[in-house]
Amino acid sequence: MKKIISLVSFVFVLLISTSAFAQEPADRLIGIWEPSHGKAKVKVEKIGSKYYGKIVWLREVKDPETGEAKVDKNNPDEKMRTKPLRGYRILKDFQYTDKDEWTEGTIYDPENGNTYNCIVKMTDENTLDIRGYIGIATFGRTDIWKRLKMPSKKK
């Protein structure tokens, strides 16, 4: 009986550690990233089995014309034009493909109000190639995003 319990325990631990390891490469996308223009910082997080990114910092928090918080004024949906950009989810529905890339997602550009198909490729632990496109990826634009180092918590 002890052998059976030990064997079941061993298999259970093995299954848990294997599933945790299998998720690890995909979760490398999680973190705070800065696009090349430096106007924003985007926090990527996992919700369910997919990855999403929202704006968590803006260089210019207020609209220079109104003095109010920047909103999504270029959104084609009029109801969304009053939504603040900080907290806005611009990356949606990405899935890991096992090749250091995440696909099947979209990226929203608040500067022109367009949403594009998107592929995210991790070229190293701190660099992403974000390729937005319409139709096929060949006809798109790539931006380089850098991971931001978070300060360690003081004890």
- Flag whether pLDDT at 59 surpasses 70: yes
| Residue in the structure block whose two tokens are 């109010």 | 68
- Sequence spans of domains, the chain: 26-147
For residues 45 and 51, the answer to whether their CB atoms sit within 8 Å is yes
Q: Indicate the class that CATH gives domain 26-147.
A: mainly beta
Residue-wise pLDDT tens digits, 105-134:
999 999 999 999 999 999 999 999 999 999
Q: How many residues does the chain have?
A: 155
**Total-model pTM:** 0.79
Amino acid at 136: I
User: What value does the mean pLDDT of the chain take?
Assistant: 87
How many helices, marked H, and strands, marked E, lie in the chain?
Answer: 1, 8
CB 125 within 8 A of CB 28: yes
